[in-house]
Chain A
Amino acid sequence: MSRTTAYLVTIAMIAMLATAPLWVAEFTITLLNYIGIYALVVLGVVLLTGVGGLTSFGQAAFVGIGAYATAWLTTAQGASPWLGLVFALVVTGAVAALLGAVTLRLGGHFLPLGTIAWGLAIYFLFGNIEGLGRHNGMADVPPIYIGSVSLEPNSAIYYLIWVMLALAMLLVANLLQSREGRAIRSLRGGAVMVESLGINVFRVRLITFVVAALLAAVSGWLYAHMSRFVSPTPFDVRMGIQYLFMAILGGSGQILGAVVGAALLTVLTNALQDILPRFSANGEQLQAIVFAVIYVLALQFARGGVMPFVLQFVPRRRKPPAASGEPLPRRQMPEAGRPLLTVHGLLKRFGGLEAVSRVGFEVAAGEIVGLIGPNGAGKSTVFNLITGVLRSDDGTVNFLGADITNANQRRIARAGVARTFQHVKLRSSMSLIDNVLLGAYPRTRAGFVRGALRLDLAEEARARAEAQHQLDRVGLGTEAYDLAGNLPLGRQRILEVARALAADPALIIFDEPAAGLSRPEKAALAELLRGLRKEGVTVLLVEHDVEFVMGLVDRIVVMDFGSKLMEGPPASVRADPRVQEAYLGSVV
């Protein structure tokens, strides 16, 4: 399909939706209303679960809170539905923030279990509060008015529902392309790397969770004023499971998948309700069984959902080359020769084993220092202690005059320490440039609201220019929009180097940057590191390629069995018999 055809198809679909009330049956409009209302919730699930990797079965409860909030305000208090919308958003947002603060620290399967727990609790709460009509619910919810136009007819509220859905999709799409959106996309696959970039994982999770709940609240508000009646049943955990399934069916992680999933499941339910009663008097039970079969089959054979299938036919939009904005402000590098990093008496035990025993060394600003030693000597552990991935049992780490011993990773990153990992930690389904942009996160400001409203364009252009510059610098510039996972392992390491550079650090800690590189690639890397030294950046690195290390570094610290064996300039380290025996072997 060419780009023109794709545009024409899109325009035709929008035109069909816009004119639907003029030419389709009343019942179809009702169905479309439900699809739009469900899609709003599913959009939140796509963001939370599909993109952010946080599984929630409890979204139906948030729809309920939104619906009940507006129902109560507009019936018991006689307020306008528009005030009801504000109230629904505030109440749902507050409850989500509270529930999120409690449950989002849970990992693995505990989080989904937690969402089931409060999903059930809220449902039973609705059914047992006198003021909310107990299980009978609340009737006579007023319709929405825009000026003097009543949105009571299905064909009228239809427009409000789909305009709101379109708006929500646009905002979420913007958000995902922004600074915080990249942070959301990076949530899947472990927190260590994300925190090492100075990103507050818990904050990003919590805000994403609240955003998803707010989308559910809008859906609940529309639902309450469309059906003009609320009762606990539609907000049950079973509905929460359905929302999740709609997201999976549509294609988790795809914004348009929210609409596709909601539409598919709604139409299917409707069709089953027509067909099944012909076969059995227990149509409803039969429907549950048919759905169970469909769930299992879909999870077995189409885990990616419908969207990936559709996207095959859509032309890939080639991103424009990075805007050449003004460069991001750079940090003032510390004066060369001044002590930058001081490690003193560092101690780490794993069980009974002392992995690092009383190691101390100093790194001066503008130096390249190599840390070498046999495998298992504790080099990576020292790096993890310095950067806050692990907590030390004793000893101190001082950076630029500040005590950063056992500070959290984020604080250390923001103080100006960037790092790469021995076992590459990238987001393989994100593009190279997005991975590098994650590194620039602490140097930029735009938050969720600015990102969703695209008020961040100037800053984004600058950050993008910076990221492109770092990619060019390491020789990956022409592949900026490829997926990181498609790079061979050696180049993935180099991508980590670019990501570290994008943070504009004063100290970069490289864990085996040259592993898996061929000779010419190693030479290019060494050249790059020398260039960094000229810029005043300090480098601490672990590397096993002796030739590479000896030709590059100013000083070497040698570790063996968790202790420091010696330190000194490359020549004297190479000549030292202890080092030869423990590490180099005799033939050097």
Chain B
Amino acid sequence: MTPLLEIRDLHVAYGKVEAVRGVALKMLPGQIVTVIGPNGAGKTTLLAAAAGLLPWRGTVSYDGVDLRRFDTEERVERGFCLVPERRELFGDMPVADNLLLGAYVRRRNGSDVKQSLQQVYDRFPRLAERRRQKAHTLSGGERQMLALGRALMARPRLLLLDEPSLGLAPLIVREIFRIIASLRDSGVSILLVEQNARAALEMADYGYVLEMGEITHQGPAAALACDPRVVATYLGGSS
């Protein structure tokens, strides 16, 4: 099977400082692949580079095609969507408009977009209740739902999720992870960066540990979750 996303020898630098050094990563269609690691390891940088928001060296191919051939808008058109760590919502716009902007690349197909909007509302009833409210008045959890919902409006094939559980209450965290699993079941592939390593490894197919800009461990998620070094550093003793 052709990998959906394949990264080889990726280097990303801020000025002279290399934040990502020679990273290789591969994911097959329909997989959830997770990247875990400490703060400053380069996880967010890795996602931002893959999404075309930062300059990089190396090879990134998406569905067998060199990603350099597409600009950011074309990537989104081809179903390659990033949900950034800071959510980056349009604060002064209502929830509904934030969602519709997510479907900007599909704007020529009105009825289709409406249907997607309804699907997002079905998935996140909370957003339907608040559809007329401005995004900056939302609580932390609602913002994350909106960010995720906005990405879904683009009909993604590959979702890059940066810390989707950040700032969420335990119940909502479980809800978000449930949604991520159901997205996978509906055929969306997911590259997941997550500080909540336990939950991430539980649902992922494959995992990478990124430390100081380099991949230090990798393997099937279930195996990683038992690797004593990973357990000691990222999962902690108690469960």
Residues of chain B with a CB closer than 8 A to A488's CB: 39-40, 44
B85 A489 Cβ-Cβ under 8 A:
yes
Q: B6 on the interface (CB 8 Å rule)?
A: no
A-facing residues in B134-184 (Cβ within 8 Å): 137-142, 163, 166-174
Distance to closest chain A CB from B77 (angstroms) = 26
CA distance in complex: A543, B84 (Å): 21
> Per-residue CB proximity of B35-57 to A under 8 Å, as 1/0?
00111100010000000000000
CA distance in complex: A375, B234 (Å): 25
Stretch of A62-70, A396-404, A510-518 on the interface side? A510-518
A-facing residues in B76-113 (Cβ within 8 Å): 85-86
Closest chain B residue, CB of each to CB of A493: B39
> Per-residue CB proximity of A478-516 to B under 8 Å, as 1/0?
000000001111110000000000000000000010011
A583 B235 Cβ-Cβ under 8 A:
no
Q: Which of B38, B86, B141 is close to A489, meaning CB atoms less than 8 Å apart? A: B86
Q: Which of B86, B139, B236 is close to A375, meaning CB atoms less than 8 Å apart? A: B139
B169 A520 Cβ-Cβ under 8 A:
no
Question: Chain B: how many interface residues by the 8 Å CB criterion?
Answer: 31
A422 B167 Cβ-Cβ under 8 A:
yes
B39 A374 Cβ-Cβ under 8 A:
no
CA distance in complex: A521, B40 (Å): 11
CA distance in complex: A375, B86 (Å): 16
Residues of chain A with a CB closer than 8 A to B138's CB: 376
B169 A491 Cβ-Cβ under 8 A:
no
A375 B168 Cβ-Cβ under 8 A:
yes
Residues of chain A with a CB closer than 8 A to B169's CB: 372-375, 544, 583
CA distance in complex: A585, B176 (Å): 14
Residues of chain A with a CB closer than 8 A to B167's CB: 375, 422, 512, 515, 544
Q: B70 on the interface (CB 8 Å rule)?
A: no
B137 A585 Cβ-Cβ under 8 A:
no
Residues of chain A with a CB closer than 8 A to B197's CB: 518-519
B-facing residues in A513-555 (Cβ within 8 Å): 515-521, 544, 546-547
CA distance in complex: A489, B197 (Å): 17
CA distance in complex: A374, B141 (Å): 8
Q: B2 on the interface (CB 8 Å rule)?
A: no
Beyond A375-B140, A583-B169, whether A518 also contacts B163 by CB under 8 A is: no
Closest chain A residue, CB of each to CB of B39: A490
Q: Which of B37, B138, B142, B195 has the most CB of A within 10 A?
A: B195
Q: A59 on the interface (CB 8 Å rule)?
A: no
A584 B171 Cβ-Cβ under 8 A:
yes
Q: A350 on the interface (CB 8 Å rule)?
A: yes
Residues of chain B with a CB closer than 8 A to A517's CB: 39, 195
Q: A219 on the interface (CB 8 Å rule)?
A: no
> Per-residue CB proximity of A60-96 to B under 8 Å, as 1/0?
0000000000000000000000000000000000000
Beyond A374-B172, A583-B171, A585-B170, whether A516 also contacts B38 by CB under 8 A is: no
Residues of chain B with a CB closer than 8 A to A254's CB: none
Q: A380 on the interface (CB 8 Å rule)?
A: yes
Closest chain A residue, CB of each to CB of B37: A518
Closest chain A residue, CB of each to CB of B236: A519
A516 B166 Cβ-Cβ under 8 A:
yes
CA distance in complex: A422, B169 (Å): 13
Distance to closest chain A CB from B78 (angstroms) = 28
Distance to closest chain A CB from B201 (angstroms) = 13
A519 B141 Cβ-Cβ under 8 A:
no
Residues of chain A with a CB closer than 8 A to B171's CB: 374, 582-585
Q: B233 on the interface (CB 8 Å rule)?
A: yes
Distance to closest chain A CB from B46 (angstroms) = 12
A521 B141 Cβ-Cβ under 8 A:
no
Distance to closest chain A CB from B183 (angstroms) = 20
Closest chain B residue, CB of each to CB of A519: B236
CA distance in complex: A521, B140 (Å): 22
Q: Which of A486, A491, A516 is close to B163, meaning CB atoms less than 8 Å apart? A: A516
Residues of chain B with a CB closer than 8 A to A518's CB: 37-39, 195, 197, 233-234
Residues of chain A with a CB closer than 8 A to B173's CB: 544
Beyond A380-B139, A544-B168, whether A490 also contacts B174 by CB under 8 A is: no
B-facing residues in A313-327 (Cβ within 8 Å): none
Distance to closest chain A CB from B151 (angstroms) = 19
A521 B168 Cβ-Cβ under 8 A:
no
B-facing residues in A346-399 (Cβ within 8 Å): 350, 372-377, 380
> Per-residue CB proximity of B207-239 to A under 8 Å, as 1/0?
000000000000000000000000001111010
Residues of chain A with a CB closer than 8 A to B139's CB: 375-377, 380
B-facing residues in A533-588 (Cβ within 8 Å): 544, 546-547, 582-585, 588
A520 B38 Cβ-Cβ under 8 A:
yes
Residues of chain B with a CB closer than 8 A to A544's CB: 167-170, 173
Distance to closest chain A CB from B181 (angstroms) = 16
A486 B14 Cβ-Cβ under 8 A:
yes
CA distance in complex: A588, B39 (Å): 27
B39 A521 Cβ-Cβ under 8 A:
yes
Residues of chain A with a CB closer than 8 A to B233's CB: 518-520
CA distance in complex: A583, B169 (Å): 7
A490 B195 Cβ-Cβ under 8 A:
yes
Q: Which of B140, B141, B235 has the most CB of A within 10 A?
A: B140
Beyond known contacts A486-B14, A512-B167, A518-B38: 4 more, CB 8 A cutoff: A423-B86, A490-B39, A516-B39, A583-B169
The 9 closest A-B pairs by CB, nearest first: A375-B141, A376-B139, A490-B39, A518-B38, A375-B139, A515-B167, A374-B169, A488-B40, A585-B171
Residues of B within 8 A of A (CB): 14, 37-40, 44, 85-86, 137-142, 163, 166-174, 195, 197, 233-236, 238
**Can you identify 20 A-B contacts, CB atoms within 8 angstroms?**
A372-B169, A375-B172, A376-B139, A376-B141, A376-B142, A380-B140, A422-B140, A488-B40, A489-B39, A489-B85, A490-B39, A512-B167, A515-B166, A518-B195, A518-B234, A519-B236, A520-B233, A547-B238, A584-B170, A585-B174
